[in-house]
């Protein structure tokens, strides 16, 4: 950890910890309080700003998230300082399902978000739109297809036919809700590393089914709190 960053934040002690996947992460002590610090190259400054923005938005609607305390650049390194959470709680996926359903009930005026952000290190476009099919194709599918083509894959022309008559309400989404971005504290479930925007809540549920999916009690509790429409 850079001495300049330690001086700037008043860090008296720190040790590397797991987390963040692509970032260097530390459990640090500031005063007598533990905090979670992410650092990376200065090119990640905007990504950390976007992450702090997303965490604040989810926290404002009652989602349990690590509270962001600040972000910036020091000694050529971008940094993000967060609340340190004890992730040794019981894995209550039913509580997580209810928590997510409640957060999804926060509806926005349109599809999109107040700023672009990132899913992992990949830029995510959030220009506002009124039509979900158009937003999904132009802001999500097409950028991924262009990325795939640049990496040498042959991609067929996509279609929005299945979405043409579909009119979901814009819900506040986590945006990158897979098992690696969920934890459980002694006080209940917590989510982190968001890529927030207002979109179809089914997009968040679909993301949870990747990489092995969540346990059945998560989906059961979600549907009891806010049933998904037929056809999901």
Distance separating alpha carbons of residues 131 and 92, to the nearest angstrom = 35
List the catalytic residue out of 86, 92, 131, 176: 176
Known catalytic residue at 130: no
Distance separating alpha carbons of residues 24 and 44, to the nearest angstrom = 12
Quote the crossing angle between the two packed helices 201-208 and 216-225, to the nearest 10°.
Answer: 160
* Best CA proximity match to 196, nearest among 180, 177, 179, 173: 173
Are 157 and 58 in contact by the 8 Å Cβ rule? The answer is: no
Strand-strand pairing, 77-83 and 33-41: antiparallel
**Structural tokens at position 210:** 């990747």
Active site residue ranges: 176
């Amino acid at each position: 950890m850079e001495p300049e960053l330690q001086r700037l934040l008043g860090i008296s002690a720190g040790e590397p910890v797991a987390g963040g996947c692509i970032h260097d992460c530390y459990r640090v002590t500031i005063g007598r309080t533990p905090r979670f610090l992410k650092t990376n190259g200065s090119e990640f400054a905007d990504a950390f700003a976007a992450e702090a923005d997303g965490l604040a938005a989810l926290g404002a609607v009652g989602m349990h998230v690590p509270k962001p305390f600040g972000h910036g650049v020091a000694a050529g390194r971008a940094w993000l300082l967060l609340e340190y959470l004890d992730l040794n709680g019981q894995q209550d996926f039913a509580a997580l399902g209810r928590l997510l359903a409640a957060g999804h009930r926060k509806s926005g005026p349109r599809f999109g978000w107040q700023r672009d952000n990132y899913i992992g290190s990949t830029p995510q476009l959030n220009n506002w739109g009124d039509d979900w099919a158009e937003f999904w194709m132009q802001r999500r599918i097409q950028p991924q297809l262009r990325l795939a083509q640049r990496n040498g894959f042959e991609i067929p022309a996509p279609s929005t036919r299945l979405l043409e008559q579909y009119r979901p309400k814009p819900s506040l989404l986590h945006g990158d809700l897979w098992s690696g971005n969920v934890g459980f504290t002694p006080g209940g479930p917590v989510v982190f590393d968001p890529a927030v925007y207002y979109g179809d809540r089914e997009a968040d549920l679909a993301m949870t089914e990747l990489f092995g999916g969540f346990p059945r009690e998560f989906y059961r509790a979600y549907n009891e709190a806010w049933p998904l429409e037929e056809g999901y």
